[in-house]
Structure 1
């Protein structure tokens, strides 16, 4: 996956009369996918492109296709799972002022310079490769945008890639609002759509709610790696919680790639449960049990067997689990599983 060719966003939408320092209230009336394109995907980047668990996954780029039916998602690549998603603008924000853009670029360039051997680079500075400008403008302006325009991978002061799954409208519930700070005159609003998000999200006050979970904890010691102790590092703690969950799902029969994809897409909940008691930050990840025992469609050869119910209980059992074959992700042909 070329990370310089991702996160193309919709917009911009001009806001007439907006001035720097104003607050813009955006009301999300409805969000959904195109009816003639009822699918989405989750991916693991090639190791050279990095990621949260880049060193643990020695594989080529890996993909899972999700088939969408109403609010539900299931996959031919991960059997026995069906969950409700909440479509939302995973990226939404305002265009930065020239001063704010310059501030971003300088601080991220310094971060990259201070950590030159990190793959991928720690910052996300402007790069003309992969730039897409969806309007007909003079070549000199295109060149300026390509060389100076902000990349949209991380969230920043203007909003951006924050993956707030509750920023949505759900049937029978009020629309949601987001308040953004204006960065420049005639502020422009940009966004991109996600169907579901399982990363670092707080519990949703809107349906669907999954009340029963199997919860995994991680601390800021690299117990799955070299054992190094870190001080109150929530990222290390989250990584350990994720690896604990992946190891557990492996006992049921899911591959590590499938388990990783589930944590990325399903409505899990993660919390920082402790961030003050040195040396260990504590982070938890809760996986809803109900997504494993709902009715789903299982693809067998060319025949779809609907209403197959596996009754798969992932709660801990004294006798342990019997591993089952639960499908396989789409992995690059030269990948290593």
Structure 2
């Protein structure tokens, strides 16, 4: 039986499809999660941190002193003490009247009176109050991804939970494309989103439609079945349950992608081929995830091109890049082999209104590797 799915005569420009997908989309509400759960999520508003350490502390094991009391002390002119000095371990608060720490080799305890054999300067061997974390600073700025070093700060400050925006992504795998579905699920997890995956009972429209659930997610991804093959029916299933905003995107690879709505939930239908699915993920699904996460605009790296990039007018083409000697070297344009995908360090989309870029032209590319 011939599939009822057909691409329209005129493909939808990528920017038009993306605008339709993002229309009305707002960041999800912040939630409090454990530090382990917060890793890679997008931070929401957080209260300022207290000073850390709260008091001056010893950086190393040794004896605590006031530096001005040690002026002139040396091995040739030891300074005798009337009482044993106070020993402090690294990380301990030093006594109020002290402002430096000397190691054990600088103090002689073998005689009847303790003797100091070296001078010191204020702050020597000491971490000042607020030296690690200044009072009032933010652990993570809202809209930024939580990194391992942020968790170090949190643990040091005694923070146990962080506020993040963590959208829920539902991923429906159309049978026959599990490799691509795993790729998209792992890509989604890398954004810090909470993902739930389902596999439709079959490739027919009824089975796919039955697997669609808008109540359990903030963004729904359907992987596979977006084309015009005899067993492709994902877009037909979406039309039966919701609304198709665009099917057939002026994107290479990824032209059989679709965007739509299931009730109020945005939907992206990604092709089953890995390269086509990645193109749709980068240009359609990932911007939706970023909008839901409240993420700041992703940073790009600007470098000149080693060679020119020629592109077809009317279709946005994905370009894979590798960095060599502070230039972007093109690995693939429009047709993305798995080898090129594995090697690529960055990507960019040549606009459908552009014929490409000249050699040595500076271009902004999104990094694929952190």
TM-score in terms of structure 2 length: 0.24
Rg larger for: 2
Relative contact order (alpha carbons < 8 A, sep ≥ 6): 1 or 2 greater? Answer: 1
